[in-house]
Structure 1
Amino acid sequence: MTIFTIILLILLGLVLLLIEFAVIPGVTIAGIGGFLLLAGSVYIAFSELGIIPGFITLAVVLIASPIMIVYFFKSRTGKKMILNKNIEGKVEFVNKDKLAVGDTGKTIGRLAPMGKVKVNGEVVEAQSTGALIDPNTEIKIVKVESNKLIVEPIKI
């Protein structure tokens, strides 16, 4: 009867861990319960059956848990739960040959504080030095960073 109890506790613990990883992410009652059932099965094996069966049970629990989780996520059902998309985006860098500090241009849209500006025929992402800048306002480049310009309005 004790061996049946140990096997049942191991199976229920593994099922609860699988529910924890697949259905209810985070630390929930299912995960805590799964660990407690697995620990309980090891404790019963040590206390009721002795040291050798206890270590065998411990080895089964320590080996079966990761194998079950890896096998589940490699199965067809588990693959449906994993995001397999690659991000194809890239950062557009400022062409420092065409744009320099002191160049002037116009805002395309409102800079609040980020927006698009057109300087020397190039449309680039820009950031104002502080205040909001309305569309079609003359601006001057204050600083050129790798992926944006820092601009301020030209005061007339």
Structure 2
Amino acid sequence: MLLDWITVILLIGIGLLLIVVELVFVPGTTVVGILGFVLTAIGIWIGYAALGTEVGHIILAATVVTGAAAFIYSFQSDSWNYFALKDQNRSHVNEEHQHALEVGAVGKTVSALRPQGTAIFADRHHEVQTNGEFVSPNRPVRIIKLNQNKIIVEEAS
């Protein structure tokens, strides 16, 4: 009888812990959350099978109340904020040198442009793109359009 209680408490405890881990560390429906739900359900089922219907009802009610209380408390206590990402990356490609280039400037590709890649203009590497053409590495390219942070190029003759 004591072993049945220990089994039920461990299965439900580990199951609820895995569900919390699913919510905090591994968002989305993954194996961790499903395994937690299955372990909790098996713990409740063993409670019904080994300890009787009345005790099974009590175990089920206690599990639901405990799970709901932990979930509600965790949101009210702002404990989720310790795991939340608060920093944002607001930078853009070529942001620091966006006015140094002009339409018509000629440079050389570093990588293949398919249609995006890297080219050198005025001894600086820039992310560039073509209008859909393929340009091999180490080929001369000319800037045909500057659109905010996009540098549109074509192969120079």
TM-score by length of 1: 0.55
Question: What RMSD in Å do the two structures reach over aligned CA positions?
Answer: 4.7
Give the corresponding residue for 1:77: none
CA distance in 1, matches of 2:134, 2:3: 73
Tell me by how many angstroms 1:118 deviates: 0.7
CA deviations 1:27-64 (Å, max 9, x no partner) are: 26733422313553786899415977864453134335
CA distance in 1, matches of 2:7, 2:109: 68
2:58 is aligned with 1:59: no
The answer on whether the counterparts of 1:109 and 1:115 sit within 8 Å (CA) in structure 2 is yes
CA distance in 2, matches of 1:104, 1:59: 69
2:34 is aligned with 1:33: no
The answer on whether the counterparts of 1:111 and 1:132 sit within 8 Å (CA) in structure 2 is yes
CA distance in 1, matches of 2:52, 2:145: 70
CA distance in 2, matches of 1:53, 1:36: 11
Q: Given residue 129 of structure 2, which amino acid in structure 1 is its aligned partner? A: Q
2:152 is aligned with 1:150: yes
2:147 is aligned with 1:133: no
Distance 1:142 1:38, change over 3 A: farther
CA distance in 2, matches of 1:32, 1:55: 15
Give the corresponding residue for 2:104: 103
CA distance in 2, matches of 1:32, 1:52: 18
Secondary structure in structure 1 of the residue aligned to 2:10: helix
CA distance in 1, matches of 2:35, 2:125: 53
Q: Given residue 8 of structure 2, which amino acid in structure 1 is its aligned partner? A: L
CA distance in 1, matches of 2:139, 2:59: 80
Secondary structure in structure 1 of the residue aligned to 2:153: strand
The answer on whether the counterparts of 1:13 and 1:35 sit within 8 Å (CA) in structure 2 is yes
Q: Given residue 42 of structure 2, which amino acid in structure 1 is its aligned partner? A: L
Secondary structure in structure 2 of the residue aligned to 1:126: strand
CA distance in 2, matches of 1:46, 1:146: 71
The answer on whether the counterparts of 2:110 and 2:120 sit within 8 Å (CA) in structure 1 is yes
Gaps of 5+ in 2: none
CA distance in 2, matches of 1:46, 1:59: 20
Secondary structure in structure 1 of the residue aligned to 2:41: helix
The answer on whether the counterparts of 1:140 and 1:154 sit within 8 Å (CA) in structure 2 is yes
TM-score by length of 2: 0.54
Tell me by how many angstroms 1:142 deviates: 2.1
The answer on whether the counterparts of 2:48 and 2:55 sit within 8 Å (CA) in structure 1 is no
CA distance in 2, matches of 1:52, 1:134: 71
Secondary structure in structure 2 of the residue aligned to 1:144: strand
The answer on whether the counterparts of 1:10 and 1:41 sit within 8 Å (CA) in structure 2 is no
